[in-house]
Structure 1
Amino acid sequence: MSRPQPTIATPEIADPGPVHLQPRNVAFDLEHTPLHWIPGHPIASNVISVLNLLLPEGERWFVTTYNEALPLVADEELAATMRGFVGQEAMHAEAHDKALWEFLDREGVDPRPFERQMRWLFRKALAPKENWEPEARRKDLVERLWLIAAIEHYTAILGDFALNNTWREHGADPAMTDLFTWHGAEEVEHRSVAHDVATYFGDGYIRRARAMGVALFGLLMLLHRGSRFIAKSDPYRKYSYFSMWTEYRRGAKAGVLPTLRSIVLATFSYFRPSFRPEEIGSTAQAVAYLASSPATRAAAR
């Protein structure tokens, strides 16, 4: 029996104004989700599924960094927003961590080698430097907060894509579609938080641009590495490097993957001095989806 798909509201809905960020205690039944969960697009399915490998440790690092920063925030409104952000990111980590074992591992893609690398990156390389002097530790914290802001620029871009793609038209698995669209909607909902927090701790165009350079290189490397990892581990199909890119272009043309052009243009927008995260996506559309998502509706009951 097919599960119902929520209707995604169009961006023309009236803006709801400021929203109160809150974690939603959702759960996703991936028991019957196939590895190639977008029919006819196995590589697109795998590329999106790479996020299940990257996100759990990355989201936990966000939470750890914000918990480190929270005691230093005197603005209670910003602190409350940060706590809402932390709750949402913790839930994202839990949901995608579950997908590692109930989806990828079950489907024959062993996530352990990649997961160990992510644990080293986020728990060691990007961890707070406990033995540094207080001033050096604060500077390191500010750099990490700007790095999170740069990464959140891309999660907002991907969140807007999740709300406006063609997965449903292609008959994508409802549970996996809801997982990524719920996450994407929350990324759009809280897209301004990381930028506001980083600005609070240390505004500066050079610092912002430097963080984006690091984030862009790091994310490209991790997404490329993760895509090849899943492609090589895929028990159902094998692809050459050239065919992977051919399939990516086909997926982008079909609307099941973001186009490289859109990502490049969005990257350039971040370097504009007047840039604000609110330029990406629609809060109204995100909130409307979160009200209709099967997982969030089940959590509310």
Structure 2
Amino acid sequence: MSHKQARVPQADDAERVALTARKVSFSWEDTPLHWVPGDPFTTHTINVLHLLLPAGERWFVHVYRQVLPYITDERLREDVIGFIGQEATHSQAHDEVLPHLREQGLDPTPYTAQVDWLFEKLLGDRTLPPGRARHWWLMERVAIIAAIEHYTAFLGDWILNAEELDRRGADPTMLDLLRWHGAEEVEHRSVAFELFLHVDGDYRRRVRTWATAFGALMFLWQRGIRFFMANDPTQVAGKASVKDFYLRGRSGTLPATGEIVKSIPRYLARSYHPSQEGSTAQALAYLAVSPAARAAEAALDGGRGAA
């Protein structure tokens, strides 16, 4: 019996949009250290994104540039090129938060050095002979990215609907960064999985690489939270626990633990397709009102007018 992934329906044409990188920028001068007022744990749990994403998304771009020659579907190629542009922009936007954290007494360098090692060395290019071994390692990484993108889309959908953060008075600039990024993750949520199906699609590989990706994300995230809490200059012996995460999930300031657990069988189902997750219409609706995205669009229109 073949273990090749059964072909599943792709996203409807009505759901498809041309993916473009929105050249956003953010000003962090007025963003406090605890941008969720009175809640350093929620703040730092989400702040881990600023430590993981720059290196991770640079790695996505690097791997996808290598896989472009394997793409024979022109529409998918266009989607992947748009995905590359968006991921590169996400990496830069989160990278620009790090100097602000340093100014507030939180130097993330010891942690980001570990993340850089993971993506550049452990998951980076290997000295392999041309042929099957090199192809196998490229397909492994394509599948890992598809699994990670399942969770970035999950988080994107969550942050777009996390109204409790607004009620708690969360910093509007940080919320715009997170929701702009989350909206684009929902917008391009099908690309990584469809690319995996196109170039490989082996179901055993999908399961194996999901376990790798999920385990690595959970390990790195809890490590990042503990790093932030221990090094926050306002906290005396700051600590983090699973209970803290669970309770914030129940209150709505972090993703609910039960929803994270339920996302696992969805991805592992043979019938899975990312179009089943989130809403393109909601993502585009947010991008239409995002202060940063609107400013980027206005700058682009101004450039067209000048031309």
Question: Shared fold (TM-score greater than 0.5)?
Answer: yes
Pair 1:194 & 2:192 matched: yes
State the number of aligned residues: 285
Which residue identity does 1:142 align to in structure 2?
M
Structure 2's unaligned 5+ residue stretches are 1-12, 299-307
Distance 2:246 2:207 in 1: 29
Match of 1:265 among 234, 242, 262: 262
Distance 1:249 1:140 in 2: 36
Q: Secondary structure at the match of 2:103?
A: coil
Post-superposition shift, 1:239? 5.1
Distance 2:104 2:71 in 1: 44
Distance 2:69 2:279 in 1: 31
Which residue identity does 1:44 align to in structure 2?
T
Distance 2:93 2:184 in 1: 13
Give 1:11's aligned residue: none
After superposition, the C-alpha distances for 1:271-290 in whole angstroms (9 at most, x for unaligned) are 11101111111100001001
Distance 1:82 1:271 in 2: 23
Higher relative contact order (CA 8 A, sep 6+): 1
Give 1:3's aligned residue: none
After superposition, the C-alpha distances for 1:177-203 in whole angstroms (9 at most, x for unaligned) are 000111100000000000000111111
Post-superposition shift, 1:267? 1.3
Give TM-score scaled by structure 1 length.
0.91
Structure 1's unaligned 5+ residue stretches are 1-14
Distance 2:161 2:190 in 1: 20
Which residue identity does 2:23 align to in structure 1?
N
Distance 1:175 1:300 in 2: 17
Q: Secondary structure at the match of 2:15?
A: coil
Which residue identity does 1:270 align to in structure 2?
Y
Distance 1:277 1:56 in 2: 23
Q: Decide whether the 8 Å contact of 2:232 with 2:238 is kept in 1.
A: no
- Tell me the C-alpha RMSD between the 2 structures: 1.4
Match of 2:223 among 207, 222, 225: 225
Distance 2:149 2:283 in 1: 16
Which residue identity does 1:255 align to in structure 2?
G
Aligned residue runs from structure 1 range 155-166, under 5 A: 155-165=152-162, 166=164
Q: Secondary structure at the match of 2:181?
A: helix
Structure 1 residues 189, 18: CA separation in 2 closer, same or farther (over 3 Å shift)?
same
Distance 1:28 1:167 in 2: 19
Which residue identity does 1:196 align to in structure 2?
E
Give 2:24's aligned residue: 26
Post-superposition shift, 1:115? 1.3
Give 2:8's aligned residue: none
Post-superposition shift, 1:245? 3.6
Pair 1:170 & 2:174 matched: no
Aligned residue runs from structure 1 range 144-163, under 5 A: 144-163=141-160
Aligned residue runs from structure 1 range 274-285, under 5 A: 274-285=271-282
Give 1:100's aligned residue: 98
- Aligned identity (percent) is 46
After superposition, the C-alpha distances for 1:226-284 in whole angstroms (9 at most, x for unaligned) are 0100011111113554x644432332222110011110101121111101111111100
Distance 1:279 1:219 in 2: 22
Give 1:9's aligned residue: none
Give TM-score scaled by structure 2 length.
0.90
Match of 2:56 among 51, 58, 66: 58
Structure 1 residues 277, 238: CA separation in 2 closer, same or farther (over 3 Å shift)?
farther
Pair 1:299 & 2:296 matched: yes
Give 1:90's aligned residue: 88
Post-superposition shift, 1:16? 5.4
Post-superposition shift, 1:216? 0.9
Q: Which runs of 4+ in 1 moved over 6 A?
A: none
